[in-house]
Amino acid sequence: MGKIKSLEDLKKKKQDLQKKVDLRERADQAEAYVQIKVGMATSGIASGAKEIYDFLVENLDKRNVEAVVTQAGDMGYSFAEPTIEVTKPGEEPVVFGYVTKEKADEIIEKYIKRGELVDGILPQNYRTIDEE
Amino acid sequence: MHLLVCGGTGCRASASDSITESLKERLQEHNLQDEVQVVMTGCFGFCEKGPIVKVLPDNTFYTEVSPEDTREIVEEHLVKGRQVDRLLYQAPEGGRVKDSKHMDFYKKQIRIALRNCGFIDPESIDEYIARDGYFALGTALNEMEPRQVIDQIKESGLRGRGGGGFPAGLKWEFASKNEADQKYVVCNADEGDPGAFMDRSILEGDPHAVLEAMAICGYATGADKGLIYIRAEYPLAIKRLKIAIEQAREYGMLGESIFDSPFNFDIQLRYGAGAFVCGEETALIHSMEGERGEPTFKPPFPAESGYLGKPTNVNNVETYANVPVIINKGADWFSQIGTEKSTGTKVFALAGKVNNVGLIEVPMGTTLREVIFEIGGGIKGGKKFKAVQTGGPSGGCLTEEHLDTPIDFDNLLAVGSMMGSGGMIVLDEDDCMVSVAKFFLEFTVEESCGKCAPCRVGNKRMYELLERITQGKAEKKDLQRLNNMCHVIADTSLCGLGQTAPSPVLSTMKNFWNEYVAHVEDQRCPAGSCKDLMRYEIIPENCVGCTACARKCPVGAITGERKQVHEIDQDKCIKCGACLEACKFDAVTIK
């Protein structure tokens, strides 16, 4: 990793990084690169987000689903931890709450593989600053 | 296509279960069950207009749907592709709104401080940069004079989010004006209010935002050392901060000649042992110096003589988290959000008897009603709202009549509470207000540093009085005494901790005077929560003498022969409630 020396460097860096992210999103295979974020702040971890994270990584691999599982901070839905956000290529992100291993299994089999929604979706009810 | 039906408590109470069933039946009638899927979701937060049915992918948002409406939704919307106009959300001004993207409700929360929380991997600086991270720092160093940075923060109207609400730009200006060979930037991450966890979440979810803002502040005030004072009981936040600092150094975002400019800046962590008083800036500084965590008289303010006697700027985590956005998007953009004197947003930790507990971020000026009933989804179990406690141990309880007060620094002070760091605890009809005041005072007594007498002794005496009230042992004149003590402690304490400690008592006495009187005069707790004022009794007419209660009682307080009426010995009874649960004949009651 080289040092960033100027604002130009940073802009270039950002473009490179964004390309990577865009590539992920525009993958043409329907199943390629599903992105899953697991809310792993203290409250998430306390309710078992770490186990869900491990379960997802292990099982997505086992079932040959190309997915990127990342940890993220607190999404704010403390009443419904553990919370995960699943973004399928080209689709809006969907947030699932109260995720257990059984639920995670259902999400992989039904939502990720077959596109069926499963119970327990948390409707997003905030705006981000990017939408301004 | 998907039909999302709200499965929150509020909507379920208005028959969203049968709506789901009915939708499924209708779909079968039209042979659409394979193409359209019906899904129960969590609460939409829009309980006022429930039950909610949302159609994907077009985001049509139907409100107040009843099982009878399902035929129309299926036949009109799904078969013929026409929206059912009469079920669309009717905006307070103007016509019906065709989809959720155009509803004002979804603008109630806007995420500035929490912009990356739950969105990026907090352990990856790359993801932060992909979200415009460190652009503000680059812009400030390359294109702005320190003076301009300060002006921009001043114009934005950003006020300290730690509780006091002091204008951040002004604070920076003071620190920049004081000449010294060494200055410091300090981040106050000593979050201590019971129930508040926004600072922790920001540090755990978006640590780079705080580092970037501290560097910007360093540039503006002329400091080259940053310190984060964080409590040792936040191990995950500490771990992620350490990773973030390491990454920022590798990328040259911290260290020497940042962005090839003459500006150097580095950040270190300092751990606190978790004392509430160390959130007060002078006490915090003493604690960092290795002294006892006790406040000292201001002035001198830290901006003149702070850490090691050098000019120091202290801001809270959430305040810093707003800074990069202000630099990137401009002061005008920021000051348009919120109210005139309190700009921007505020993060609240919503807790207590509310359906959606969690972390929310709303523009200043949002009303308590919107926060509790719309975003929070209303009171748990359909109970009645009683009060909301804001500002933690320094704040007060607000009642039904304050629900429509727009939340900002000044409005909350005017009604006898305060913003504080943003804890918001919702209370329902089962909560005793005297006990609530006692709970917060117990916290203050525990956390008082003991330096000045009004706080050390006064709060303790006040706590004892409250305890006597909840035990039914107080007299009428004790209430007067309590009131006097509140004012003396508030007027004579050295620091904010003591000055605001009586607030929970004062505000509950003001708003719930009758409850205090009931405890004192009738030895009765109207909410039925003070154990000492409660009696479990057996109703002789209902008791069949099954002995179930006597077998369950852990202290053997219940006596009686088989098939004879039983009796509770009040002297032995510990009021655990086991008999009430054990009785199948409704023969045990609380008096």
CATH of the domain at B220: 3.40.50.11540
User: Does residue B276 share a domain with residue B205?
Assistant: yes
Nearest by CB to A72, which of B119, B135, B259?
B119
Tell me, yes or no, whether B186 lies in a domain. Answer: yes
User: Does residue B194 share a domain with residue B240?
Assistant: yes
High-pLDDT (> 70) share of chain B, %: 98
Q: Which residue has the higher pLDDT, B534 or B237?
A: B237
Instruction: Report chain B residues whose CB lies below 8 A from the CB of A1.
Output: 250-251
**A105 DSSP assignment:** H
Low-confidence winner among A120-124, B343-347, B550-554, B587-591 (lowest mean pLDDT): A120-124
User: Does residue B263 share a domain with residue B211?
Assistant: yes
CATH of the domain at B387: 3.10.20.600
Tell me, yes or no, whether B388 lies in a domain. Answer: yes
Q: Is pLDDT above 50 for B211? A: yes
> Per DSSP, what are the bridge partners of residue B188?
B229, B316
CA B304 to chain CA centroid, nearest Å: 32
CA–CA separation, B539 and B541 (whole Å): 6
Q: Is pLDDT above 60 for A25? A: no
Last residue of a domain, which of B475, B495, B521? B521
The per-residue pLDDT for A27 is 45
In A, minimum Cα distance to B137 occurs at: A7
Q: Is pLDDT above 60 for A39? A: yes
CA–CA separation, B560 and B568 (whole Å): 9
ipTM (interface pTM): 0.79
The per-residue pLDDT for A20 is 64
Last residue of a domain, which of B53, B73, B107? B107
Mean pLDDT (chain B, rounded):
91
The tokens of B389 are what?
A: 């406690």
User: Does residue B319 share a domain with residue B254?
Assistant: yes
Domain that holds residue B219: 125-332
Is there a cis peptide before residue B167, judged by omega within 30 degrees of 0?
Answer: no
User: Does residue B275 share a domain with residue B140?
Assistant: yes
Tell me, yes or no, whether B339 lies in a domain. Answer: no
C-alpha distance from B245 to closest chain A C-alpha (Å):
14
**A124 DSSP assignment:** P
The tokens of A12 are what?
A: 């270039």
Specify the pairing of strand B184-189 against strand B2-6.
unpaired
User: Does residue B199 share a domain with residue B316?
Assistant: yes
CATH of the domain at B68: 3.40.30.10
CA–CA separation, B114 and B348 (whole Å): 11
Q: Is pLDDT above 50 for B290? A: yes
pLDDT digits (tens, 9 = 90+) for B166-201: 999 999 999 999 999 999 999 999 998 888 889 999
> Which helix (DSSP H) or strand (DSSP E) does residue B137 occupy?
helix B135-143
Tell me, yes or no, whether B246 lies in a domain. Answer: yes
pLDDT digits (tens, 9 = 90+) for B401-425: 999 999 999 999 898 889 888 999 9
pLDDT digits (tens, 9 = 90+) for B1-55: 888 888 777 777 788 889 989 999 998 988 888 888 888 877 776 777 878 888 8
The answer to whether B167 touches B305, Cβ cutoff 8 Å, is: no
The answer, for A43 touching chain B at a CB cutoff of 8 Å, is yes
The tokens of B378 are what?
A: 């209303």
User: Does residue B452 share a domain with residue B422?
Assistant: no
C-alpha distance from A49 to closest chain B C-alpha (Å):
13
The answer, for A8 touching chain B at a CB cutoff of 8 Å, is no
The per-residue pLDDT for A1 is 53
pLDDT class of B375 with cuts at 50, 70, 90: confident
Choose among B373, B336, B332, B331: nearest CA to B355: B373
Where do the DSSP E strands lie in B293-352? 312-316, 345-352
Average pLDDT over residues B60-77: 89
φ/ψ of B137, rounded to 5, equals -65, -45
The answer to whether A34 touches A112, Cβ cutoff 8 Å, is: yes
Cβ-defined contact of B204 to A17 (cutoff 8 Å): no
User: Does residue B287 share a domain with residue B217?
Assistant: yes
The per-residue pLDDT for B78 is 86
The per-residue pLDDT for B43 is 73
C-alpha distance from A64 to closest chain B C-alpha (Å):
23
CA B429 to chain CA centroid, nearest Å: 20
Q: What is the CATH number of domain A31-131?
A: 3.40.30.10
User: Does residue B255 share a domain with residue B142?
Assistant: yes
The answer to whether B260 touches A5, Cβ cutoff 8 Å, is: yes
The answer to whether B172 touches B150, Cβ cutoff 8 Å, is: yes
Q: Is pLDDT above 50 for A26? A: no
User: Does residue B437 share a domain with residue B418?
Assistant: no
Low-confidence winner among B94-103, B315-324, B438-447, B485-494 (lowest mean pLDDT): B94-103
Cβ-defined contact of B118 to A37 (cutoff 8 Å): yes
Number of domains chain B contains? 5
Coil, helix or strand for B289? coil
User: Does residue B179 share a domain with residue B54?
Assistant: no
User: Does residue B97 share a domain with residue B149?
Assistant: no
CA–CA separation, A36 and A68 (whole Å): 6
Instruction: Report chain A residues whose CB lies below 8 A from the CB of B41.
Output: 119-123
The answer, for A46 touching chain B at a CB cutoff of 8 Å, is no
> Which helix (DSSP H) or strand (DSSP E) does residue B500 occupy?
helix B496-500
Low-confidence winner among A41-50, B5-14, B153-162, B427-436 (lowest mean pLDDT): B5-14
Q: Is pLDDT above 60 for B349? A: yes
Q: Is pLDDT above 70 for B213? A: yes
Tell me, yes or no, whether B113 lies in a domain. Answer: no
Average pLDDT over residues B274-288: 92
Q: Is pLDDT above 70 for B485? A: yes
Instruction: Report chain B residues whose CB lies below 8 A from the CB of A107.
Output: none
| Cβ atoms within 10 Å, residue B373 | 22
Nearest by CB to B121, which of A13, A71, A92?
A71
The answer to whether B483 touches B437, Cβ cutoff 8 Å, is: no
